[in-house]
């Protein structure tokens, strides 16, 4: 079984080789299916066409599949690629393989999820997830006004092992809302009484609904719901609707900026969302690898922020935001 | 109730006698309470999941006082397990034939995408899109059945393969795009019908003028009703029809079944196709539950359905088990997950508990099977 797989992999690598008269650039995402990565791939394909380079795409089988990404990098090295952009599934474990690729002369640009340590890549282009969280936190606080000090908040997080994106967004929201986060890289060590509960949604619509149902049992007086992404928010909305809390008594906020999410902001089910830009990330990475010119990166931040913008139909003074119409033009997935 | 224990001789073959001594007095001692319980459980295997369910309810009534033991919370649990229970019914059919179906979850997602995308994105009337989704499920199951019987491959491998294949088709057809609740509501509200809320108390007091106090606080949806109908129909098929007998017989001892004149291949293809069809019904319930269509949902549904079946007391060796057991098995998982969540424990302890339940369930299954030796 394993032998056959390896044979298949090396055949793949061989078959990729003849194309290499031209320049080849790789794109490795966490999974094949997540709309965020699907869009990223589309952005890369468009850019590759424009630059006249060959794009090889690969992905892990599931979120957290390090082995799959290692194999993909090895194939790209074997194929003699000029470099690749990668969204690492496991920020620490992939580092030695990335080093191997860089030693072989490949340019490596990390997208979306920084490596640990961040400087193990040539550059990192990512959404500032903490800032994205802060934007919706500030918006929720501003919208509630005086009521913010008596808020009852439910957090629908991603996973129990708290991947970087999970704590960055969650803690960012708290910082924006004015909650003392204690350790800014850890969810759950806070003692602010306004936090009612943290539940796990796994970023999934069905599990998001279940998580919200359980949260409602603990916090019947909830009036703010933070969600890790828009599918989780959509599931939470169904749970709120089922108990008649779709009457505007609960503020629902999220992060991502996918088209279904932005439309939910337009429909008023989602109060606000922070939008990120996967197409831009991928296009910039291809450009940088192709030209060999890495853009200036502020060493204090450590990565190039591809931006996050708040989208809401009800702007709040002092919190920069764009309209739903603008958001729809920029949305993905 | 289908405590079907049709001749489990094949599974017990070769097990040594459990009585240790040859002295008559030992024999008497062994007929103690434990032995009697073993005999009772052997005769009524479905009683085990019921007992576990009861224990769970009692524990969490104390662990999460005031929250767990309420009609509304039980309603929630019922809604939370509905999808897995329906998939569990499909899985039970397959496991009764000593097979396993790893593709139930992805068949459900594919069917939901076919229903939703065809109706909402391609604007096909829901009267066509919905049956098309059911047909997609049936076709996937049929493919599984044909490969298992005609190529004589182990079901585990076949459905491991088709899990991947159907998953790829899902990505291809759905383009990984989510369909929003509002869009489904606008163009194909029928697909959301399973999510419609029913308040049984109001229903009976409005229609029949009955004041059924014990129904107060319960909130169900049509998805739960669909689940009960699916379970009842499959229970009937398994217990009251020739096809059902063939399913049990094929799982218990395929050689004997063939010698008895049963076309086991036809029975198997029927089982997998029916399982695929049931998955498509689960797809309908899923759309009702999440409002929209999400190609990423249900990633762990296949394993969750197997968990429900195993905890429900159906033997992985085939030929023994019941639909009622599976429903209770799904409920047990729901009760433990909800109860632990309300007690304030993290998700990882819910996973831990479900793991323990699986091991305990299979251990009990092995133990009671020793009885006939």
Same-domain status, A133 and A263: yes
List, in sequence order, every residue forming a beta bridge with A182; answer none if it has no partner: none
Instruction: Give the global pTM.
Output: 0.82
Same-domain status, A99 and A139: no
ipTM, 2 dp: 0.76
Q: Provide the shortest C-alpha distance from residue A65 to chain B (in Å).
A: 15
List the Cα angle B138/B140/B142 in 5-degree steps. 65
> Are the CB atoms for B249 and B262 separated by under 8 Å?
yes
Per CB-CB distance under 8 Å, the chain A contacts of B297 are 204-206
Q: Are strands A195-200 and A153-157 parallel, antiparallel or unpaired?
A: parallel
Convert A158-194 to b/e letters by CB count within 10 Å (16 or more is b): bbbebbbbbbbbbbbbbbbbebebeeeeebeebeeeb
Q: Looking at the complex, does the CB of residue B171 fall below 8 Å from at least one CB of chain A?
A: yes
Mapped onto helix, strand or coil, the DSSP state of residue B81 is helix
Smallest Cβ–Cβ distance between A32 and the set B171, B182, B338 belongs to B171
Same-domain status, A179 and A318: yes
Judged by phi (left if over 0) then psi (alpha if -120 to 50, else beta), residue A182 lies in left
Half-sphere exposure of A178 (CA within 13 A, CB side): 14
| Mean pLDDT in residue range A113-135 | 92
* Average pLDDT value for chain B: 88
Nearest to B255 by CA among B5, B4, B9: B9
Q: Residue B131's CB: how many other CB atoms inside 10 A?
A: 13
Locus of tokens 């032998």: A3
pLDDT at position B19: 45
pLDDT digits 0-9 by tens, B104-143: 999 999 999 999 999 999 999 999 999 999 999 999 999 9
Q: Are strands A251-256 and A195-200 parallel, antiparallel or unpaired?
A: unpaired
Contact state of B290 with A35 under an 8 Å Cβ cutoff: no
pLDDT digits 0-9 by tens, A77-96: 999 999 999 999 888 899 99
List the Cα angle A104/A107/A110 in 5-degree steps. 125
Same-domain status, A142 and A266: yes
Q: Provide the shortest C-alpha distance from residue A94 to chain B (in Å).
A: 24
Smallest Cβ–Cβ distance between A263 and the set B171, B180, B347 belongs to B180
pLDDT at position A3: 55
Q: What is the rounded CA–CA span in Å between residue B343 and residue B354?
A: 16
List C-alpha distances in Å: B15 to B10, B40, B43, B352, B370.
10, 20, 19, 31, 7
Question: Does residue A19 carry a pLDDT above 80?
Answer: no
Per CB-CB distance under 8 Å, the chain B contacts of A30 are none
Q: How many CB pairs under 8 A join A and B?
A: 89
Smallest Cβ–Cβ distance between B286 and the set A206, A217, A234 belongs to A206
Same-domain status, A86 and A187: no
Same-domain status, A149 and A268: yes
Q: Looking at the complex, does the CB of residue A287 fall below 8 Å from at least one CB of chain B?
A: no
Q: What is the rounded CA–CA span in Å between residue A212 and residue A196?
A: 12
Half-sphere exposure of B282 (CA within 13 A, CB side): 34
**Domain ranges within chain B, ordered by starting residue:** 25-372
Mapped onto helix, strand or coil, the DSSP state of residue B299 is coil
Q: Is residue A236 within a helix (H) or strand (E), and if so which, with residue range?
A: helix A230-242
Q: Looking at the complex, does the CB of residue B331 fall below 8 Å from at least one CB of chain A?
A: no
Confidence grade of residue A8 (pLDDT, cut at 50, 70, 90):
low
What is the CATH number for A183?
Answer: 3.40.50.2300
DSSP structure class, residue A145: G
Mapped onto helix, strand or coil, the DSSP state of residue A153 is strand
Determine what percent of chain B falls in helix, strand and coil, rounding each to the nearest 5: 75, 0, 25
Confidence grade of residue B214 (pLDDT, cut at 50, 70, 90):
confident
Same-domain status, A122 and A134: no
Question: Which residues, numbered 233 to 262 in chain A, qualify as contacts with chain B under a Cβ-Cβ cut-off of 8 Å?
Answer: 234-235, 237-238, 242, 258, 260
Same-domain status, A140 and A257: yes
Q: Looking at the complex, does the CB of residue B148 fall below 8 Å from at least one CB of chain A?
A: no
DSSP structure class, residue A87: -
The residue among A265 and A31 whose pLDDT is bigger is: A265
The total of structural domains in chain A comes to 2
Could you list the residue range(s) of the whole structural domain that residue A292 is in? 2-126+279-302
> Are the CB atoms for B218 and B72 separated by under 8 Å?
yes
Q: What is the rounded CA–CA span in Å between residue B363 and residue B356?
A: 11
Q: Looking at the complex, does the CB of residue B289 fall below 8 Å from at least one CB of chain A?
A: yes
pLDDT digits 0-9 by tens, A254-281: 999 999 999 999 999 999 999 999 989 9
Q: Provide the shortest C-alpha distance from residue B338 to chain A (in Å).
A: 7
Same-domain status, A36 and A48: yes
Q: What is the rounded CA–CA span in Å between residue A160 and residue A174?
A: 18
Locus of tokens 């609960």: A250
Sign of the dihedral through C-alpha B348, B354, B359, B360: positive
pLDDT at position B18: 44
Question: Does residue A110 carry a pLDDT above 70?
Answer: yes
Nearest to A32 by CA among A61, A55, A70, A9: A61
Smallest Cβ–Cβ distance between B297 and the set A204, A260, A333 belongs to A204
Question: Does residue B347 carry a pLDDT above 60?
Answer: yes
pLDDT at position B10: 39
Q: Provide the shortest C-alpha distance from residue A35 to chain B (in Å).
A: 5
Q: What is the rounded CA–CA span in Å between residue B208 and residue A254?
A: 45
> Are the CB atoms for A178 and A157 separated by under 8 Å?
no
Q: What is the CATH number of domain B25-372?
A: 1.10.3470
Structure tokens at B216: 């107060």
Per CB-CB distance under 8 Å, the chain B contacts of A200 are 346-347
Question: Does residue A21 carry a pLDDT above 70?
Answer: no
Question: Which residues, numbered 121 to 180 in chain A, qualify as contacts with chain B under a Cβ-Cβ cut-off of 8 Å?
Answer: 160
> Are the CB atoms for B136 and B114 separated by under 8 Å?
yes
> Are the CB atoms for A327 and A262 separated by under 8 Å?
yes
Nearest to B228 by CA among B281, B183, B270, B275: B281
pLDDT at position B4: 45
pLDDT digits 0-9 by tens, A178-201: 999 999 999 999 999 999 999 999
pLDDT at position B349: 86
């Amino acid at each position: 079984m394993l032998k056959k797989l390896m044979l298949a992999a090396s055949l793949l690598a061989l078959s990729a080789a003849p194309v290499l008269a031209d320049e080849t650039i790789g794109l490795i995402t966490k999974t094949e299916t997540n709309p965020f990565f699907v869009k990223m791939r589309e952005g890369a394909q468009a850019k590759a066409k424009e630059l006249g380079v060959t794009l090889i795409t690969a992905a892990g089988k599931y979120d957290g599949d390090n082995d799959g990404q290692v194999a993909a990098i090895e194939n790209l090295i074997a194929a003699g690629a000029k470099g690749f952009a990668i969204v690492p599934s496991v920020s620490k474990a992939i580092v030695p393989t990335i080093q191997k690729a860089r030693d072989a002369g490949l340019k490596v640009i990390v997208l979306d999820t920084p490596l640990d340590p961040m400087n193990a890549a040539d550059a990192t282009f990512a959404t500032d997830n903490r800032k994205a969280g802060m934007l919706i936190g500030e918006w929720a606080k501003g919208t509630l006004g005086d009521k913010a000090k008596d808020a009852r908040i439910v957090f629908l997080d991603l996973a129990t092992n708290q991947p970087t994106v999970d704590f960055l967004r969650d803690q960012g929201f708290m910082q924006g809302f004015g909650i003392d986060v204690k350790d800014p890289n850890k969810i759950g060590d806070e003692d602010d009484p306004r936090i009612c509960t943290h539940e796990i949604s796994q970023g999934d619509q069905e599990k998001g609904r279940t998580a919200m149902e359980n949260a409602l049992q603990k916090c019947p007086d909830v009036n703010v719901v933070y969600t890790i992404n828009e599918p989780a928010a959509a599931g939470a909305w169904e749970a709120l609707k089922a108990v008649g809390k779709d009457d505007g008594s609960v503020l629902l906020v999220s992060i991502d900026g996918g088209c279904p999410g932005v439309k939910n902001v337009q429909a008023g089910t989602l109060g606000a969302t922070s939008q990120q830009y996967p197409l831009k990330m991928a296009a910039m990475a291809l450009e940088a690898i192709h030209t060999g010119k890495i853009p200036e990166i502020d060493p204090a931040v450590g990565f190039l922020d591809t931006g996050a913008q708040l989208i809401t139909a009800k702007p709040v003074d002092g919190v920069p935001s764009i309209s739903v119409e603008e958001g729809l033009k920029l949305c993905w997935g | 109730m289908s405590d079907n224990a049709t001749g489990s001789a094949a599974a017990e073959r070769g097990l040594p006698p459990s009585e240790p001594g040859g002295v008559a007095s030992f024999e008497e001692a062994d007929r103690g309470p434990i032995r009697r319980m073993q005999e009772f459980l052997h005769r009524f295997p479905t009683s085990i999941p019921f007992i576990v369910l009861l224990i769970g309810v009692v524990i969490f009534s104390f662990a999460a006082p005031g929250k767990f033991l309420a009609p509304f919370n039980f309603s929630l649990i019922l809604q939370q397990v509905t999808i897995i229970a329906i998939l569990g019914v499909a899985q039970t059919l397959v496991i009764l034939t000593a097979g396993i179906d790893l593709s139930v979850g992805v068949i459900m997602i594919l069917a939901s995408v076919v229903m939703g995308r065809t109706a909402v994105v391609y604007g096909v009337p829901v009267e066509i899109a919905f049956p098309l989704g059911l047909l997609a499920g049936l076709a996937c199951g049929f493919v599984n059945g044909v490969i298992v019987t005609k190529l004589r491959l182990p079901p585990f491998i076949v459905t491991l393969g088709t899990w991947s294949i159907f998953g790829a088709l899902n990505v291809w057809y759905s383009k990984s795009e989510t369909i929003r609740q509002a869009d489904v509501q606008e163009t194909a509200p029928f697909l959301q019908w399973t999510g419609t809320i029913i308040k049984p108390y109001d229903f009976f007091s409005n229609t029949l003028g009955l004041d059924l106090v014990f129904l107060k606080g319960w909130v169900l949806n049509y998805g739960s009703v669909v689940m009960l109908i699916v379970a009842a129909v499959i229970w009937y098929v398994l217990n009251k029809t020739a096809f059902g007998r063939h399913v049990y017989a094929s799982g218990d001892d395929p050689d004997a079944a063939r010698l008895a004149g049963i076309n086991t291949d036809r029975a198997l293809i029927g089982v997998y196709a029916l399982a695929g069809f049931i998955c498509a019904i689960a797809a309908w319930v899923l759309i009702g539950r999440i409002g929209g269509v999400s190609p990423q949902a249900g990633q762990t549904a296949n394993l969750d359905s197997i968990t429900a079946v195993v905890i429900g007391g159906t033997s992985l060796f085939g030929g023994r088990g019941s639909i009622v057991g599976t429903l209770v098995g799904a409920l047990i998982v729901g009760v433990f997950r909800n109860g632990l969540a309300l007690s304030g424990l993290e998700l990882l302890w819910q996973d831990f508990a479900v793991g323990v339940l699986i091991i305990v369930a299979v251990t009990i299954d092995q133990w009671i099977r020793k009885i006939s030796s």
